[in-house]
Structure 1
Amino acid sequence: MHAAHRQLPYTVRLDWGLKGATAILPGAQAAVVVDTLSFSTTVSVGVEAGLAVIPFRTAPGDGELQASAARLAAERGALLAGPRSLTQLSLSPSSILAHAARSEGGELVLPSPNGSAISQHLAGHVPQLLAGTLRNAGATAAWLSRHLPPSAVIAVVAAGERWPGGALRPALEDQLGAGAILAALARPAAQLSPEARAAVALFEAFRDDLPEQLLESASGTELVMHGFGHDVELAAQLDACTVAARYQDGAFRAVS
């Protein structure tokens, strides 16, 4: 990894995917994983409903990984989120809302190929790990400001999506989610890397039109075409969630 890719000397950094996270993580006191459609949004809905959400790396069509997730859920007596669905607990945040009343106080194993994979990799490599999104941007920034000194290094990781074949596809919704958190963090601009400042500028440009922008984005359009438009609308609800999602004891949990 080239030293320039660490975004030194800035203390607030942003990069994409697992490789980007690896580049900007050294020296960080906190990392925030932003996967707006939908891992981070699902986590925010889950922890707000009283669930402890366990990230689990998976890949489309990988039956062995899905079987491992099922075994983990069985071992812990936890709920298991399946592939995106509105009729059962799944990666869809709408499904979590629908089942929240009978799920409070339990654990949920949440497999996903992007946000979960990055979170699972970063766990144990950074003192504080959070799942951030538009829904909990203000709560996430407030938690970081309360618990970290002004000079702390913060690594914001935009998860992105995947092209067929597995290559990273940068995604508008994750840049907006990252920008919302960084804007609410209210750190001096001199502390933010150019990549972080660009995310803030994009968010500020779109903040009054987030639902439409997400619905019309490539990722949003794809979900709408498959019947999950409400997931996109949930994800666009800026600061609808008043608790942050912090990784502790193997799961993301609500903190304020």
Structure 2
Amino acid sequence: MRYFSQFEFDTRLEWGENAIEHMAGDADCVIIVDVMSFSSCVSVAAARGATVYPYPWKDATATEYGDRLGAITASTTRRFEGEGYSLSPASLVKIPPQTKLVLPSPNGSALAFKARDSGAAVFCGCLRNLEATAIACAPFQHILVVPCGEKWPDGRLRPALEDWVAAGGIISHLAKRNLSPEAQAAAATFRALPTDVLRRCSSTCELVERGFTADVDLCLAIDTDDKACRLQNDHFVYV
């Protein structure tokens, strides 16, 4: 499998869980990119002074985990109206500073936990913090950027354009590095693709159809947050 590892390059890119399993062990830094919407939720909440605890399962154990931490557990049902928080970034825009929030996500959270277990530094990147993430990760020698993608109904990975473009945006800010062809391709896509194209991609169409246009606006905002989100033990900190 070594020929899939992009080992000769210091900045690498590959999709989803398999990237973590096969490539994180050779990386000093892993950047998890789940634009719609785990990474965007983390950035929105952290920018407002909340402490975000990722959790890899969307079941009753998430609430139990939150109770042990003395934290609020976000709802596993996406919503931005009513009380409480969820994987809707719009539900988090007024979260009070110092709130402890458990964010259950079998995608972004699960990959962040798996990457942490590899021993690498783990960051959570999205369109909202492209430059800040690149600046925070630049000191690391070997960087693995992981666009999470979405899931088809049968559970298989569905590559998501918004994750590919955001990954490329982060990479494009990592100047003077030896990029793998995969990383180069993502960066080239970010530079070439008009940002309004993402408003017509599959993931966006799904959210708009479900009534979450406000989430789309938050997720597609570029570099509105000026710091990066790094996983420190069991929670993300704003760095």
State the TM-score, normalized to the length of structure 1.
0.89
Could you tell me which of 95, 99, 109 is aligned with 2:102? 109
Q: Tell me the equivalent position of 1:62.
A: none
1:180 and 2:180 matched: no
Could you tell me which of 148, 158, 162 is aligned with 2:147? 158
Q: One-letter code of the match for 2:29?
A: A
Report sequence identity in percent.
Answer: 39
The within-5 A match list for 1:1-256 is: 2-58=1-57, 65-82=58-75, 83-87=77-81, 88-97=84-93, 99-100=94-95, 103-145=96-138, 147-148=139-140, 152-188=141-177, 191-206=178-193, 209-210=194-195, 212-255=196-239
Q: One-letter code of the match for 2:147?
A: A
Alignment RMSD, CA only?
A: 1.2
Q: One-letter code of the match for 1:240?
A: T
Query: For 1:162 and 1:33, how far apart are their aligned partners in 2?
Result: 16
Query: For 2:176 and 2:53, how far apart are their aligned partners in 1?
Result: 30
Contact 1:25–1:155 (CA under 8 A) maintained in structure 2: yes
Misfit runs of 4+, over 4 Å: none
State the TM-score, normalized to the length of structure 2.
0.95
| Partner secondary structure for residue 136 of structure 1 | helix
Q: CA deviation at 1:43?
A: 0.5
Query: For 1:234 and 1:132, how far apart are their aligned partners in 2?
Result: 14
Q: One-letter code of the match for 2:157?
A: L
Query: For 1:169 and 1:40, how far apart are their aligned partners in 2?
Result: 17
Q: CA deviation at 1:27?
A: 2.0
- Is 23-32 or 10-19 further displaced after alignment? 23-32
Q: Which runs of 5+ in 1 are unaligned?
A: 59-64
Query: For 1:26 and 1:125, how far apart are their aligned partners in 2?
Result: 5
Q: One-letter code of the match for 2:30?
A: A
Query: For 1:196 and 1:126, how far apart are their aligned partners in 2?
Result: 22
Contact 2:24–2:120 (CA under 8 A) maintained in structure 1: no
- Is 86-95 or 20-29 further displaced after alignment? 20-29
Query: For 1:110 and 1:187, how far apart are their aligned partners in 2?
Result: 35
State the aligned residue count.
236
Contact 2:25–2:120 (CA under 8 A) maintained in structure 1: no
| Partner secondary structure for residue 13 of structure 1 | strand
Contact 1:31–1:126 (CA under 8 A) maintained in structure 2: no
Query: For 1:225 and 1:169, how far apart are their aligned partners in 2?
Result: 19
Deviation digits for residues 91-131 of structure 1 (CA, Å, limit 9, x no counterpart) = 0111000x32xx31121110112111101211232331000
Q: One-letter code of the match for 1:86?
A: F
Q: Which runs of 5+ in 2 are unaligned?
A: none
Contact 2:149–2:157 (CA under 8 A) maintained in structure 1: yes
Contact 2:20–2:114 (CA under 8 A) maintained in structure 1: no
Contact 2:51–2:99 (CA under 8 A) maintained in structure 1: yes
Q: CA deviation at 1:229?
A: 1.2
